[in-house]
């Protein structure tokens, strides 16, 4: 089915009297099919009516746009009609005259008799024949709303927009009008978008319910598909086996947003110098090629440009040391593996919970799965070959190295193995080893392979120790790899410093993805204080075609190390949610029943957006689409628990409510 209406990355920003800005809507991306009924649900102030006004052409987006049947919406038009909560009828005109006002204006090209027929048909359609000659003051509220609906439908709009049309009516009248509206929309096949606070109304009328998060910067938090067959009746809907679970899911979302609103408080700001609360920072990093943004920000002066005059980059021995440094306060911020903010916040592997947030992604892609060269000698060139090799040696446990439990190296290696029928905890053994120690462990035979970042993969290949049987971007293209992580209490205590840090690193990431700078960056990375690697081991993928070590010509892998292009830096919710499902799949963390609340707390999209705008970069997020993985499976971000339960190979998955109000930033 073709797309009828497309809301394309819409933002709406309002100017404030003090010269500031209020961002009501952020990155709204929605596609609506012809004949679909979509409801917008969220708490007051989340921008539902603002979005409806943009669809109507009564308001203009600050960024993005709305496309209706291939044409951009820039002004009001008869192809879109709005039914407001307050009826908007002319009091001196009768029911018939109010409807005729619209028909005569829009359909003036039709003969008078045909226009009269359209008016009379719609009077009958809404059951107002007996009141057709009465004025609005002579009829009830429910009748007035029926007049408004008849007037809207009479000009045969392509899109009907309803702004809480029944909100002011009593329950009995509202129920009757809902049934009538549903029947009319089904008969005329009109496409509808409705704003409502009524969960039951949304489920009765809608094909899809779009749930908006709190403002400011409200965005789509979840979308609920409503599976009830049409035509519908109220009793059919209530008695449907999925009704109460869907209703509970919507109410649960709204309760999450209510708690988040109560929890949000403005931190006290104490300005030190340069407009910042703190200018001397200790940042942790691991010696890997994708630490480039931190190195570039230091060496090319981006930190100083944004007032961070005393930044020390601390080369850490392991990801465990990074986590401990953030927890103890020894480090102000750090390069982190993708799942670490979630893992620390949720208390991975039973550890105390420490709220950690991320306001930007530092890099995407950049990893590979390395196997010992002995497997290649046995003819192992694919996942199925590896499974057969394991089966040939049932008395031997093949051991593979990963860098951290919350890293994409671990999660994607596990996903890759399980997709081929290999249980990563029972058919092989996984051990945690710092990246720089992978080579020595492979050489001594302590491990049979590993998943890590560069330059440690290319070094193993060039030294003839191993080969890359799989590159991670082939498993999940453009996945989040490294993020900037800070403790939540640190971010609240030093908001301007946090903003400056993100701005500096955004500019550094942009510098890193200008390939004209890559030779210079390579020299910086190879310095002993940073990665300290041989340039030969660092060039593959970063600058040169990638040699997998399988006897084939080196392959040019586009964006093998990706730092800025294609909206790299946006702290994406869909990818974070997929990461969360994989951590829960293997028992690393429980899966939070209130996952939207958890993601909103750990991802500081507001800081990212402000930083991006202030340095002149796009603050538009990545599309909220399903993820497609190499095994032809699809991850739907609106049904993560169903996705999690669908895996044949997994541990005992724990699903629990995370009491975020009880989380404190105490190490």
Rounded CA gap, 643 and 636, in Å? 7
Pairing of strands 399-402, 429-432: parallel
Query: Do the Cβ atoms of 204 and 237 come closer than 8 Å?
Result: yes
Query: Do the Cβ atoms of 311 and 262 come closer than 8 Å?
Result: no
Q: Which has the minimum average pLDDT: 104-113, 406-415, 504-513, 555-564? A: 104-113
Question: Could you tell me if residue 99 is inside a domain?
Answer: no
Domain boundary among 247, 263, 279: 263
State both tokens at 493.
């205590």
Query: Do the Cβ atoms of 454 and 542 come closer than 8 Å?
Result: yes
Task: Name the percent of the chain lying above pLDDT 90.
Answer: 72
Rounded CA gap, 400 and 371, in Å? 8
State both tokens at 294.
């931190």
Residue 273: the pLDDT is 55
> Who's near 616: CB < 8 A, 6+ residues apart?
none
On whether both 319 and 254 belong to a single domain, the answer is: no
> CA 504 → CA 160, 331, 571, 610, distances in Å?
46, 18, 16, 13
Question: Could you tell me if residue 102 is inside a domain?
Answer: no
On whether both 230 and 316 belong to a single domain, the answer is: no
Burial class (CB in 10 A: 0-12, 13-18, 19+), 6: middle
On whether both 294 and 346 belong to a single domain, the answer is: yes
State both tokens at 215.
């403002």
What number of other Cβ atoms are within 10 A of residue 471's Cβ?
19
State both tokens at 273.
């110098």
Pairing of strands 63-68, 3-15: antiparallel
What is residue 298's three-state secondary structure?
A: helix
Residue 264: the pLDDT is 64
Say yes or no to pLDDT of 177 above 80. no
284-331 pLDDT, tens digit per residue, is 999 999 999 999 999 999 999 999 999 999 999 999 999 999 999 999
- Tell how far CA 502 is from the center of its chain: 19
Residue 666: the pLDDT is 46
Residue 665: the pLDDT is 52
On whether both 343 and 467 belong to a single domain, the answer is: yes
Question: Could you tell me if residue 243 is inside a domain?
Answer: yes
Number of Cα atoms under 13 Å in the Cβ half of residue 89? 29
Residue 667: the pLDDT is 39
Residue 664: the pLDDT is 60
Question: Could you tell me if residue 605 is inside a domain?
Answer: yes
Task: Tell me the mean pLDDT in the region 504-525.
Answer: 97
Task: Tell me the mean pLDDT in the region 249-264.
Answer: 85
Task: Tell me the mean pLDDT in the region 213-235.
Answer: 91
Task: Tell me the mean pLDDT in the region 493-515.
Answer: 97
301: preceding bond cis by omega (within 30 degrees):
no
Query: Do the Cβ atoms of 347 and 406 come closer than 8 Å?
Result: no
What number of other Cβ atoms are within 10 A of residue 101's Cβ?
16
State the pLDDT confidence band at 108, using cuts at 50, 70 and 90. confident
Pairing of strands 655-656, 627-628: unpaired
469-500 pLDDT, tens digit per residue, is 999 999 999 999 999 999 999 999 999 999 99
What number of other Cβ atoms are within 10 A of residue 371's Cβ?
25
Q: Which of 607, 610, 583, 586 is nearest to 595 (CA)?
A: 583
What number of other Cβ atoms are within 10 A of residue 357's Cβ?
25
* Most distant CA pair in the chain, distance: 94
- Tell how far CA 114 is from the center of its chain: 50
What number of other Cβ atoms are within 10 A of residue 593's Cβ?
15
Question: Could you tell me if residue 85 is inside a domain?
Answer: no
Helix (H) or strand (E) holding 628, with range, is strand 627-628
Number of Cα atoms under 13 Å in the Cβ half of residue 485? 30
Query: Do the Cβ atoms of 608 and 571 come closer than 8 Å?
Result: yes
State the pLDDT confidence band at 268, using cuts at 50, 70 and 90. very low
Higher confidence at residue 136 or residue 444?
444
On whether both 274 and 180 belong to a single domain, the answer is: no
On whether both 548 and 611 belong to a single domain, the answer is: yes
Say yes or no to pLDDT of 164 above 70. yes
Query: Do the Cβ atoms of 95 and 58 come closer than 8 Å?
Result: no
Task: Tell me the mean pLDDT in the region 34-44.
Answer: 93
Task: Name the percent of the chain lying above pLDDT 70.
Answer: 97
CATH number at residue 183: 3.40.50.300
Question: Could you tell me if residue 118 is inside a domain?
Answer: no
On whether both 210 and 329 belong to a single domain, the answer is: no
State the pLDDT confidence band at 85, using cuts at 50, 70 and 90. confident
Angle between helices 141-154 and 112-125 (to 10 degrees): 140
328-341 pLDDT, tens digit per residue, is 999 999 999 999 99
Q: Which has the minimum average pLDDT: 252-261, 565-574, 578-587, 644-653? A: 252-261
On whether both 252 and 307 belong to a single domain, the answer is: no
Rounded CA gap, 644 and 653, in Å? 8
**Total domains in the fold of the chain:** 2
Domain boundary among 234, 263, 292: 263
Expressed as residue numbers, the domain containing 300 is 268-667
Could you report how far apart the first and last alpha carbons of the chain are, in Å? 52
Query: Do the Cβ atoms of 263 and 482 come closer than 8 Å?
Result: no
Rounded CA gap, 474 and 330, in Å? 37
Question: Could you tell me if residue 255 is inside a domain?
Answer: yes
> CA 548 → CA 80, 103, 448, 555, 598, distances in Å?
56, 69, 17, 8, 38
CATH number at residue 308: 3.40.190.10
Q: What is the DSSP letter of 40?
A: E
350-361 pLDDT, tens digit per residue, is 889 999 999 999
Question: Could you tell me if residue 293 is inside a domain?
Answer: yes
Task: Tell me the mean pLDDT in the region 339-345.
Answer: 97
What number of other Cβ atoms are within 10 A of residue 181's Cβ?
26
On whether both 370 and 519 belong to a single domain, the answer is: yes
Q: What is the DSSP string of 211-279?
A: EEPPSSSB-EEEEEE----SS--HHHHHTSTTHHHHHHHHHHHHHHHHHHHHH--PPP----BTTBS--
Average pLDDT, the chain: 91
117-155 pLDDT, tens digit per residue, is 888 888 887 788 888 899 988 888 878 878 888 887 788
On whether both 580 and 523 belong to a single domain, the answer is: yes
373: preceding bond cis by omega (within 30 degrees):
no
On whether both 252 and 401 belong to a single domain, the answer is: no
Domain boundary among 263, 294, 313: 263
Pairing of strands 37-41, 191-195: parallel
- 3-state secondary structure string across 571-607: CCHHHHHHHHHHHHHCCCCCEECCHHHHHHHHECHHH
On whether both 223 and 277 belong to a single domain, the answer is: no
Query: Do the Cβ atoms of 121 and 128 come closer than 8 Å?
Result: no
Q: What is the DSSP letter of 137?
A: G
Burial class (CB in 10 A: 0-12, 13-18, 19+), 630: middle
């Amino acid at each position: 089915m073709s797309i009828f209406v497309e809301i394309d990355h819409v933002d709406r920003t309002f100017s404030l009297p003090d010269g500031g800005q209020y961002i009501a809507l952020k990155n709204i991306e929605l596609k609506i099919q012809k004949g679909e009924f979509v409801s917008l649900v969220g708490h007051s102030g989340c921008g539902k009516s603002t979005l409806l006004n943009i669809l109507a052409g009564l308001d203009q987006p600050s960024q993005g746009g709305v496309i209706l049947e291939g044409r951009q919406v820039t002004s009001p038009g008869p192809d879109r009609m709005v039914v407001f909560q307050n009826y908007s009828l002319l009091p001196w005109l009768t029911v018939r005259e109010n409807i005729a006002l619209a028909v005569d204006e829009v359909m003036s090209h039709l003969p008078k008799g045909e226009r009269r027929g359209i008016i009379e048909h719609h009077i009958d359609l809404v059951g107002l024949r007996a009141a057709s000659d009465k004025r609005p003051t002579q009829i009830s509220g429910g009748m007035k709303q029926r007049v408004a609906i008849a007037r809207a439908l009479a000009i045969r709009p392509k899109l009907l927009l309803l702004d809480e049309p029944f909100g002011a009516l009593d329950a009995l009248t509202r129920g009757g009008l809902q049934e009538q509206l549903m029947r009319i929309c089904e008969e005329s096949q009109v496409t509808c978008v409705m704003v409502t606070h009524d969960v039951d109304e949304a489920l009765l009328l809608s094909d899809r319910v779009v749930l908006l998060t709190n403002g400011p910067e409200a965005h789509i938090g979840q979308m609920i598909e409503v599976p009830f067959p049409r035509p519908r009746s109220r009793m059919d809907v209530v008695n449907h086996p999925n009704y109460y679970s869907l209703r509970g899911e919507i109410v649960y979302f709204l309760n999450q947003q209510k708690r988040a609103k109560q929890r949000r408080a403005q931190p006290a700001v104490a300005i030190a110098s340069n407009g910042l609360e703190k200018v001397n920072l200790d940042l942790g990093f691991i010696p890997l090629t994708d630490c480039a943004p931190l190195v570039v920000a230091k060496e090319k002066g981006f930190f100083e440009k944004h007032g961070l005059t005393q930044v020390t980059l601390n080369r850490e021995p392991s990801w465990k040391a990074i986590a401990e440094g953030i927890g103890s306060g020894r480090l102000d911020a750090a390069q982190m593996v993708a799942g670490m903010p979630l893992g620390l916040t949720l208390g991975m592997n039973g550890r105390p919970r420490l709220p950690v947030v991320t306001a930007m992604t530092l890099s995407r892609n950049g990893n590979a799965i390395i196997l010992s060269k002995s497997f290649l000698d046995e003819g192992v060139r694919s996942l199925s070959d590896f499974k057969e090799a394991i089966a040939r040696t049932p008395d031997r446990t093949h051991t593979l190295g990963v860098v951290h439990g919350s890293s994409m190296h671990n999660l994607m290696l596990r996903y890759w193995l399980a997709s081929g029928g290999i249980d990563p905890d029972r058919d092989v053994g996984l051990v945690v080893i710092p990246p720089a120690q992978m080579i020595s462990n492979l050489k001594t035979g302590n491990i049979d392979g590993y998943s890590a970042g560069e330059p440690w993969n290319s070094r193993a290949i060039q030294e003839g120790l191993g080969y890359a049987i799989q590159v991670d971007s082939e498993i999940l293209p453009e996945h989040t790899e490294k993020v900037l992580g800070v403790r939540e209490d640190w971010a609240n205590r030093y908001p301007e410093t946090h903003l400056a840090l993100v701005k500096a690193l955004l500019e550094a990431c942009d510098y890193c993805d200008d390939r004209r700078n890559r030779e210079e960056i390579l020299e910086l990375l190879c310095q002993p204080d940073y990665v300290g690697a041989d340039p030969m081991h660092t060039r593959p993928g970063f600058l040169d075609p990638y040699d997998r070590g399988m006897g084939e010509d080196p392959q040019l892998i586009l964006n093998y190390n990706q730092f800025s292009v294609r909206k790299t830096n946006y702290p994406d919710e869909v990818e974070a949610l997929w990461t969360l499902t994989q951590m829960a799949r293997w028992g690393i963390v429980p899966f939070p029943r209130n996952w939207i609340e958890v993601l909103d707390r750990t991802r500081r999209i507001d800081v990212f957006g402000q930083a991006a705008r202030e340095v002149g970069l796009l603050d538009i997020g990545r599309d909220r689409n399903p993820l497609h993985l190499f095994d032809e499976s699809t991850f739907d971000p609106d049904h993560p628990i169903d996705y999690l339960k669908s895996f044949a190979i997994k541990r005992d998955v724990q699903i629990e409510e995370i009491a975020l109000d009880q989380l404190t930033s105490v190490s």
